[in-house]
Amino acid sequence: MQVSSLEDVQTSDQMHKAGRPRSEESHRAILDATRRLLTHNSVAKLSVEAIAKKAGVGKTTIYRWWPNKQAVVMDAVFSQPGFHNILPASASSFDGVRAQVDKLMRQLSGKNGRVVAEIIGEAQGDPEALKNLVENFFQDRYNALAGYLEQGKDSGEFPADLDIEAAIDVILGPIVFRLMTGQDFDAAFEENVSLMLRKALAA
C-alpha cells in the first residue's frame, strides 16, 4: 500500500459536494492548503497566516478548530489515508510485528518522512505538542506492536519473559533514528531490521 504523497491531495473544489456545510468546506480547505504548502516549505517556516491565506479563510477560522500551527500540521499529515494504521490479519505474531514495521517505514519515507521528522523536532520542548504527536501518530503504532508481542508471548512464539516496553523501544529506535538523521529506508536497512527482529524475538 502506497502512502499518499503530500502532493497527491484533492483541491477543495474537487471535494465540494452540494449542500455541504460551509464549516466543513473550510475545514477541508485548511487541511488541503496545509498539505500543499508543506510540499515547498518546512514546518518551521509555515505559519497560520500563510495557511489561512492559501485556504481563503481567516485566522480565527483556523483557531476555531486547532490551538496552534503544529496541531494543524499534524491533522493535515496524519489524516491522509496512507497514515491510517489498518493492518490485515497475520499468520503469526512475528508477521504482525514485521507488517507494522514495514508499514511504518513506508509511512516515513520520502516527503512525508521529512515532514514527520520536522514535526518531531518542533515538538521537543513543547509538552502539549509532544502529547498530541504521541496521541495522533505513535500511540496506534505502539498499541499494535504491543498487541502482537503480547500475543506472541501467550502463544509461546516469543520468549515468556519478553519485556514489551523495552522490545518496542528496540524496534522503533533504529527507525526513528534513521528518520531524524535524514537517511532513507533502503532495502538493506529493511533486511537488517527483519534479521534483528528475528533474533530479538526468538523464543
**Gap between the Cα atoms of 75 and 137, Å rounded:** 10
Question: pLDDT tens, position by position, for the chain (203 residues)?
Answer: 444 445 444 444 443 444 445 588 999 999 999 999 999 999 999 999 999 999 999 999 999 999 999 999 999 999 999 998 887 778 899 999 999 999 999 999 999 999 999 999 999 989 999 999 999 999 999 999 999 999 999 999 999 999 999 999 999 999 999 999 999 899 999 999 999 999 989 86
CA dihedral 44, 103, 128, 73 (to 10 degrees): 40
Give the closest residue to 175 by CA, choosing from 153, 142, 132, 201.
142
pTM: 0.81
CATH superfamily assigned to domain 12-78: Tetracycline Repressor, domain 2 (1.10.357.10)
**Gap between the Cα atoms of 77 and 91, Å rounded:** 31
Count of CB atoms situated within 10 Å of the CB of 85: 15
Q: What is the pLDDT of residue 48?
A: 97
Q: What is the pLDDT of residue 163?
A: 96
User: What are the structural domain ranges in the chain?
Assistant: 12-78, 86-201
Q: What is the pLDDT of residue 1?
A: 42
Tell me if 12-78 shares its fold with 86-201. Answer: yes
Q: What is the pLDDT of residue 21?
A: 55
Q: CA Rg, the chain, in Å? A: 19
Q: What is the pLDDT of residue 91?
A: 81
Alpha helices for 57-182 (secondary structure H): 59-65, 69-78, 93-107, 110-123, 127-133, 139-155, 164-180
Q: Sign of dihedral through CA atoms 184, 185, 187, 189?
A: positive
Question: 54 to each of 50, 57, 104, 111, how far by Cα in Å?
Answer: 6, 8, 30, 20
Contact criterion met (CB below 8 Å) for 68 and 43 = no
Classified by CATH at the fold level, domain 86-201 comes out as Tetracycline Repressor; domain 2 (1.10.357)
What φ, ψ does residue 24 adopt, rounded to 5°? -70, -40
Q: b/e for 109-127, b at 16 or more Cβ within 10 A? A: beebbbbbbbbbebbeeee
Q: What is the pLDDT of residue 180?
A: 96
